[in-house]
Amino acid sequence: MVDTIISLHYYNVFLVLTAAVVTGAWGLFLYFRKLTVNRPWRVALGATALLGALQGLLGIILYLSGLKPGTGSGLYYLHYVYGAIVVLAIPVGLTYTTSGKNLRRDLLIYSIAALVLAAAGARAWMTGPR
């Protein structure tokens, strides 16, 4: 069972990174072209947030199973810090939005949050595998 969760946690990182980069770049494209927020982009943002949350949940399960990222020594705890950023990037971005009063600003904030999620995910991946 733990081996399955390790595999899911390992392969899900590629989905998280891909979704975050695509969503962030797409959002910046919409913002700089002065286009409106569309439903497919919102769905992509939601999928990115859900994939990040799933990655965090899988990581918590592995932690509760007694496993540590990487070699389990040195700066392995940074994996937890970057993982927390992956899970919280979009919800924290939500606190800075205007709740729909200024859609362009909201688009920019969410796009930056998605790219921060991608960067933190890449760093977490670098500190995780053995």
Global pTM? 0.92
Least confident of 14-18, 25-29, 55-59, 95-99: 95-99
Summarize pLDDT for 67-118 with one digit per residue, the tens.
Answer: 989 877 788 899 999 999 999 999 999 999 998 899 999 999 999 999 999 9
SS3 category, 129: coil
Mean pLDDT over 54-71 rounds to 93
Domain that holds residue 59: 2-127
Number of domains in the chain: 1
Q: 35 — phi, psi (to 5°)? A: -95, 165
Q: Report the pLDDT value the prediction gives residue 49, as an integer from 0 to 100.
A: 97
**What is the pLDDT at residue 129?**
75
Summarize the confidence of residues 28-37 as an average pLDDT: 94
Residues 6+ apart with CB under 8 A from 110: 27, 45, 90, 93, 97
Q: What are the b/e assignments for 4-13, b being 16+ CB within 10 Å?
A: ebeeebeebb
pLDDT of res. 104:
93
